[in-house]
C-alpha cells in the first residue's frame, strides 16, 4: 500500500513539473544581440550565454513546478523545497528535483538580428 501511495505521489509530481511549461507552450520572446555572458533571468525562462553558445531554459522547477529564481552567478534555486540547478546545463545539483530543467527552442533570426526563444522543448 505504501509503495502504491509513493508511486501515485511521484506521478502527480511528475505531471505538475511539466504543467507550467505545457501551459506556456508556443509563446515566443525576442532579444537583441547584447545578451551578457552567464545567466540572464526573465521570469518564465532564463538564457545562459557562454563564449561558445546561447541556451534557454524554462524556470519551472522539475520537482513540483514552482518558479525557480536566480541563485548565485552560475546557479538557479527553487524557493519551494531548495533544489538547485546548474545554469549552463539546467541539471540539478541539489534535490529533491532530479530532472533537468526543460531546455527551450532558441534560434538566431538573421532577418531581424534577434535571438528568438520559443516555449517549445528543444527537439
Ligand atoms: S518545487 Fe522546486 S524544489 Fe520542490
Residue 100, phi then psi, degrees to nearest 5? -70, 155
Instruction: Identify the residues whose C-beta falls under 6 Å from ligand 1.
Output: 61, 63-64, 66, 78, 80-83, 96-97
Q: Output the residue whose Cα is nearest ligand 1's atom 3.
A: 81
CATH superfamily for 2-121 is: Rieske [2Fe-2S] iron-sulphur domain (2.102.10.10)
pLDDT at position 21 is 47
pLDDT of residue 73: 79
In this predicted structure, what is the pLDDT of residue 38?
Answer: 92
Predicted model pTM = 0.79
What pLDDT score does 27 carry?
85
Looking at residue 17, its pLDDT comes to: 47
Give nearest CA residue, ligand 1 atom 1. 64
Alpha carbons within 13 angstroms on the beta-carbon side of residue 58 total: 31
Cell of 65: 513546478
Local mean pLDDT, 10-residue blocks, the chain (123 residues): 62 49 70 90 92 94 93 90 96 95 93 88 76
Q: Which of 92, 73, 89, 90 is nearest to 81 (CA)?
A: 92
Check residue 70 and give its pLDDT.
84
Bridge partners (DSSP) listed for residue 40: 47
SS3 22: helix
Mutate to test the pocket of ligand 1, among 21, 59, 92, 97 (most ligand atoms within 8 A of CB): 97
What residues does each domain of the chain span?
2-121
104 close to 48: Cβ distance less than 8 angstroms? no
Q: What is the pLDDT of residue 11?
A: 52
Amino acid at each position: 500500500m505504501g509503495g502504491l501511495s509513493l508511486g501515485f505521489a511521484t506521478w502527480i509530481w511528475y505531471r505538475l513539473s511539466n504543467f507550467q511549461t505545457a501551459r506556456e507552450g508556443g509563446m515566443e520572446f525576442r532579444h537583441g544581440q547584447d545578451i551578457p555572458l552567464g545567466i540572464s533571468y526573465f521570469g518564465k525562462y532564463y538564457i545562459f550565454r557562454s563564449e561558445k553558445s546561447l541556451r534557454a531554459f524554462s524556470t519551472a522547477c522539475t520537482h513540483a513546478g514552482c518558479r525557480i529564481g536566480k541563485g548565485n552567478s552560475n546557479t538557479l534555486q527553487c524557493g519551494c523545497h531548495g533544489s538547485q540547478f546548474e545554469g549552463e546545463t539546467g541539471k540539478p545539483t541539489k534535490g529533491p528535483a532530479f530532472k533537468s530543467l526543460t531546455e527551450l527552442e532558441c534560434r538566431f533570426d538573421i532577418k531581424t538580428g534577434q535571438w528568438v526563444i520559443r516555449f517549445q522543448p528543444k527537439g
